[in-house]
Amino acid sequence: MSHGPYITTRDSPQVAPEPGQLGPRDKSIPRDDHGSRIPGWDTPNDLAKPPATIPDPATTPVPDHLREEIESYLGRYPDPKSAIIPALWAAQRLHGWCSPVAIAQVGAVLQRTPAELMAVATFYDQFETEPVGKSTIYVCTNISCSLRGADALLHKFEHESAGREDEFHVRGFECLGACDIAPMVSIDGLFIGPIDTDEVAGILAAVAEGRAHEIFPERQINNMKIADPAAGDTPSHGAQGPQSKLSGKPNGDVDDVSPDPRRHSSTTRPSKLPEEDEPTDQHAHGNPTGEADDTAEATDDTKPTAAEDAPDAATDEESA
């Protein structure tokens, strides 16, 4: 007779314990400092522990800047639950991952249980529920990048970063939505591509030295005209210089582009966007004088109506 769920080690026989008791704890399961499992979609919380309550703001220290950022998100949405994702993202930027401390701080400000917050963090792929390296490098492996060598590129990044897991968090990503620069990578949110395997070592060196903004500025999507019509020769992250410090290649030849009148803040939004001059119907029909065309079709006001056509139709039927 089964006595319900129990925990065993992987090497121990699965013998049911006495009623009301749990089996020996599986030491291979990662746990945080207070003994609970590190949760995830395939690693549930320790159900033997009582559920965690909403963290008490009076006893949960939260950095002032993190509290202010989370509270600003609360002011953006009618439903406070909508602030969970940006609040968790802010905490992850601060702590490097959604640690128990980070979850407690978010819960204290939002007044949400750790279980609710972890349910969100374990659902979305870019939230980390275990410690990771300082810099996150995603290598896109979807179809466009894969056809252009993404698998070999990912293998090269993994090989070059081996043993430096505290510095780099390298992983493949299903799709980053930048197929036009395939194969591409995301380095702490900075999209760069295309990337060759022989450039990986230099990229990792620049990231380790805090010079990610200098990595092929001409290939950074933020600096491409397609992404920003007002982009010029200066990379968006402020790096100066006429050429990439890694490749030695000159930046893309970008003509001076005047600010786009359509790019404006909400406070200065014009009532109507500028309209381009369009040719008149006369010009379109080869009448440069602009004079009325006698052969023009009748307007809606002069076109006969269905009622006016009816008598003629009746006459035609009688004659037939």
178-201 pLDDT, tens digit each = 999 999 999 999 999 999 999 999
CA pair distance 120, 316, nearest whole angstrom? 74
pLDDT in the model for residue 44: 58
Q: Does position 235 have pLDDT exceeding 80, yes or no?
A: no
pLDDT in the model for residue 271: 41
Return the number of other C-beta atoms located less than 10 Å from residue 193's C-beta: 23
Q: Where are the alpha helices (DSSP H) in 175-234?
A: 200-208
User: What are the beta bridge partners of residue 243?
Assistant: 250
Task: Of 82, 170, 70, give the one whose Cα is nearest residue 120.
Answer: 82
Q: Does position 157 have pLDDT exceeding 80, yes or no?
A: yes
pLDDT in the model for residue 241: 37
The average pLDDT across 46-72 equals 88
* Percent of the chain residues past pLDDT 90, beyond the cut: 52
Q: Does position 202 have pLDDT exceeding 80, yes or no?
A: yes
Query: Cβ contacts of residue 306 below 8 Å, gap of 6+?
Result: none
The average pLDDT across 272-280 equals 49
Tens digits of residue pLDDT in 249-264: 444 444 443 444 333 3
Length of the chain: 320
- Grade residue 267 by pLDDT with cuts at 50, 70 and 90: very low
For the chain, domain boundaries: 135-223
Tens digits of residue pLDDT in 161-182: 999 999 999 999 999 999 999 9
Q: Does position 209 have pLDDT exceeding 50, yes or no?
A: yes
Tens digits of residue pLDDT in 86-133: 999 999 999 999 999 999 999 999 999 998 999 999 999 899 999 999
Return the number of other C-beta atoms located less than 10 Å from residue 1's C-beta: 4
Return the number of other C-beta atoms located less than 10 Å from residue 129's C-beta: 20
Give me 254's structure tokens. Answer: 């970008």
Q: Which residue did the predictor score with more confidence, 80 or 245? A: 80
The average pLDDT across 298-308 equals 49
CA pair distance 221, 77, nearest whole angstrom? 30
φ, ψ for residue 69, nearest 5 deg: -65, -45
- Grade residue 48 by pLDDT with cuts at 50, 70 and 90: confident
pLDDT in the model for residue 270: 41
pLDDT in the model for residue 246: 56
- Grade residue 226 by pLDDT with cuts at 50, 70 and 90: low
Q: Rounded mean pLDDT of the chain?
A: 74
Q: Which CATH number fits domain 135-223: 3.40.50.2300, 3.40.718.10, 3.30.460.10, 3.40.30.10?
A: 3.40.30.10
Residue 111's Cβ-count burial label (10 Å; 0-12, 13-18, 19+) is exposed
**DSSP at 78:** S
Give me 149's structure tokens. Answer: 């060598």
Among the residue ranges 21-35, 69-83, 151-165, 281-295, the one predicted with the least confidence is 281-295
- Grade residue 312 by pLDDT with cuts at 50, 70 and 90: low
